[in-house]
Amino acid sequence: MKNYSKKLKKKLAEYRSYVVLGVIFVILSVVGYEYYHRYIYVFRDPNRIKDIIMSYGEYGVSVFLLIQVLQVVAFFIPGEIIQIAGGYIYGTLFGSILSIIGITAGSVIDYGIARVYGRPLIDKIVSKRHLKFFDKVLHLGSVNSIVFLLYLIPGIPKDILAYICGVSSISLKNFVLCSTFARLPGIIVSAYFGAKMYSGNKILLVSIAVVMILLFVVGVLKGEKIISKVVKRFQSENNKQV
């Protein structure tokens, strides 16, 4: 009995991090099941997000940052609506800055979690389809360049990508630089759209929305081909110079 107890303690100590992770996932699953369908509508309406944030008064900025971090870590929450809400509440400039800070912080958390718990965690939380796509694309060329392109092209599931980058060869510093700078155009456009949402300029808003949707569709359908072509062209130019 004593030997069995010792073996059990040894196993628990050896797999302590996985036990802790398992407990966290159980808790998150229960909470998610209980509240997801009940409150997810909040994250689909900038007005509701604004009402929640403004209700916290002087702490509204902190709440908005926390929501941005949450939507990156819990990647099933639609991030674009929150970016639009940031522009709607705080204007294009400040809304963009807040979104960048929150999204970067959330991405670092994703990267860190994946770095600590490794591939077994990624296999559990990321679909096989996305894993296959990213495993293939990340080996097309320089990992820094590929990560930058993946974050730049609309339609790529970027919050899932943050977890996958945590088990790739890209360093934390390069990950933060590549992902943040590549995300800037999309964040600024979303914040601008939110800031002008009730300006009455319907032609401008419709034009932005159409362009964003078209870019999203192209990214989803042709993202891998675009990245492959860019990498091949870059490699051929380098070979010519050599």
Each residue of 40-84: pLDDT tens digit? Answer: 444 556 677 778 788 888 888 998 998 888 888 876 666 778 888
Give the H/E segment covering residue 229: helix 202-241
Tell me: do 232 and 173 sit in the same domain.
yes
Judge if 24 and 80 occupy the same domain: no
Looking at the structure, tell me whether residues 156 and 224 fall in a common domain.
yes
The pLDDT value recorded for residue 36 is 46
Between 166 and 50, the higher pLDDT residue: 166
- 3-state class (DSSP) for residue 75: coil
- Within this chain, do residues 28 and 56 fall inside the same structural domain, yes or no? no
Domain hosting 211: range is: 43-241
Q: Are 154 and 212 in contact (CB under 8 A)?
A: yes
Burial class (CB in 10 A: 0-12, 13-18, 19+), 105: middle
**Token digits of residue 235:** 């490699």
Characterise 17 by phi-psi region: left (phi > 0), alpha (psi -120 to 50), beta (else). alpha
Q: How confident is the model at residue 107 (pLDDT cuts 50, 70, 90)?
A: very high
The verdict on 84 and 175 lying in the same domain is yes
Residue the block writes with tokens 């980058």: 165
- Taking residues 232-239, what's their average pLDDT? 57
Residue 226: CB atoms within 10 Å = 15
Same domain, 94 and 133: yes
pLDDT at 35: 44
Which residues contact residue 114 at a Cβ distance below 8 angstroms, ignoring those fewer than 6 apart?
Answer: 121, 122, 162, 163, 164, 165, 166, 167
- Least-confidence region, from 134-138, 180-184, 204-208, 234-238: 234-238
Question: What would the mean pLDDT of 197-203 be, rounded to a whole number?
Answer: 68
Same domain as 200, residue 218: yes
169 and 63 fall within a common domain: yes
Q: Number of structural domains, the chain?
A: 2
Residue 224 pLDDT > 90, yes or no?
no
Higher local confidence (pLDDT), 125 or 112: 112
